[in-house]
Structure 1
């Protein structure tokens, strides 16, 4: 059966876009038993609305490029704040961080070595690209985007990927052919009927739900004090040039 697609158009943005190529996950023939409305845009919007209202804690396996898989923990607290723990989310995979949103804004906190946090942006702003690990977007601002049918996205039903969740309905998200930019990069996303996100494939790699969804805390508490220093970048820090040895230094000239 040919995949059914719907195209919506309007405002554009770039949240969650990255520079890495997305892993291949070609659409499979549609499983009609998993299709509720027959319209992929409407169906996905209804599940995104349920996902947006959820409060939970869940663990996802993150695979990116040739790196070993790591576990990303997503927490949506009862008060609406959220936290996403990202192993290797800074300094080119060398430093573990968590990205937190509260009514005070976005924060990046370094884990393990130093319980220290840095404010990234105000509550209604965007995380600077240099500090953005990207994996938090499907659980946060992507949901608002999927609820707005005016956004320039082409949405189609697909079957779950190999090893995916059989209880989920999956969708491909592509740029509208008439749009210059889309608010979500080319991706695939799978959600259960209750809105639980079980699989995402995008520019940052793939995220797969592992284990059971757990109850959330009442609120998100920063794991460290807020520092005035600069937040960590996702890219590796610049390497220091070695200091010249005495033998490499030019000898002073001797005048006759």
Structure 2
């Protein structure tokens, strides 16, 4: 028994001499790995850069205000609302009847609507459901910048020539000049200059129908958009006001004088 006790005591002493039995080799201090960038490197080719930014734009949900400059018209403020549920609305002051009627283009319920807004010479609101695309005579075109033209900018099969462009005055992000790469082919979107932030926010565009310039920073998107008026029968209001009816010959003739 005494021999066993001495043996255990000897083992304990040996452990302390070896720095607490099993801990002779200290743990290595953890090293921090170099940070890995979460953002992928941007492509070098202008067309690929534009396609990446247009692709990001399709996922944005925000409310953005733009100054809209168009020939022979005063500057207007266009409001673009892209809701969380994928519905959208574009308000265009003076968008119909040669500037006499304010309109909103609204996509909700799986359909496009052109809505006349109550203002000025048009004291009531009403929305016409548009089967398919707007007819050319009623197409103000602003909405294409946030809808189908984004798809075209990402389509590598389309005959597009894209080059870096000098920034439009007041525009943020990067600007790209877009035109047809085949002189014989007409583009399904306007040639011009398109400016985007890296997150896909359209900051400016200079195209055939006018120039848009983003005002400030876009705001938070609403859950959804709704129609600003009841759905009414009829056709979309045209861009140009119809001519005033001419008075008939019988109405314009002066009554004959009695003797």
Shorter-chain TM-score tier:
0.7 to 0.9
- List alignment gaps of at least 5 residues for structure 2: 1-40
User: What's the CA shift for 1:162?
Assistant: 2.4
Give the Cα–Cα distance (whole angstroms) in 2 for the partners of residues 246 and 221 of structure 1.
46
Runs of 4+ in 1 over 6 A off after TM superposition: none
Counterpart residue number, 2:188: 183
CA distances 1:137-167 after superposition (whole Å, capped 9, x unpaired):
11111111111110121111112122322xx
SS at match of 1:54: coil
TM-score normalised by length of structure 2:
0.77
Closer, same or farther in 2 for the Cα pair 1:82/1:246, shift >3 Å?
closer
Which of 67, 77, 84 is equivalent to 2:73? Answer: 67
Q: What is the distance in 2 between the residues matched to 1:176 and 1:184? A: 13
Q: Does 1:137 align with 2:135?
A: no
Question: 1:176: how far off?
Answer: 2.0
- Greater RCO between the two (CA within 8 Å, min separation 6)? 1
Aligned twin of 2:59: 53
CA contact 1:90–1:131 (8 Å) conserved in 2: yes
The change in CA–CA distance for 1:241 and 1:179 in structure 2 (over 3 A counts) is: same
Q: 2:128 aligns with which of 102, 118, 135?
A: 118
Supply the distance in 1 between the matched residues of 2:216 and 2:231 (Cα, whole angstroms): 32
- The Cα shift of 1:180 comes to 2.0
What's the TM-score once normalised by structure 1's chain length? 0.78
Alignment of 1:222-237 (within 5 A): 222-237=227-242
8 Å contact from structure 1 (residues 176, 182) kept in 2: no
Contact 2:54 2:154 in 1 (8 A): yes
Worse-superposed segment, 73-82 or 146-155? 146-155
3-state DSSP of counterpart to 1:85: strand
Deviation string 1:193-225 (CA, Å, 9 cap, x unpaired) is 111100001111100000220011111100111
**Aligned partners of 2:61, 2:252: CA distance in 1, in Å?**
64
SS of equivalent residue, structure 2 residue 128: strand
* Structure 1 residue ranges without an equivalent (≥5): 1-34, 252-256
2:170–2:213 Cα contact (<8 Å) kept:
no
Shift in Å, 1:243: 4.3
Would you say how many aligned residue pairs link Structure 1 and Structure 2? 213
Name which of 200, 207, 215 aligns with 1:210: 215
Q: CA deviation at 1:238?
A: 1.9
Partner of 1:42: helix, strand, or coil? helix
Q: Give 1:106's aligned residue.
A: 112
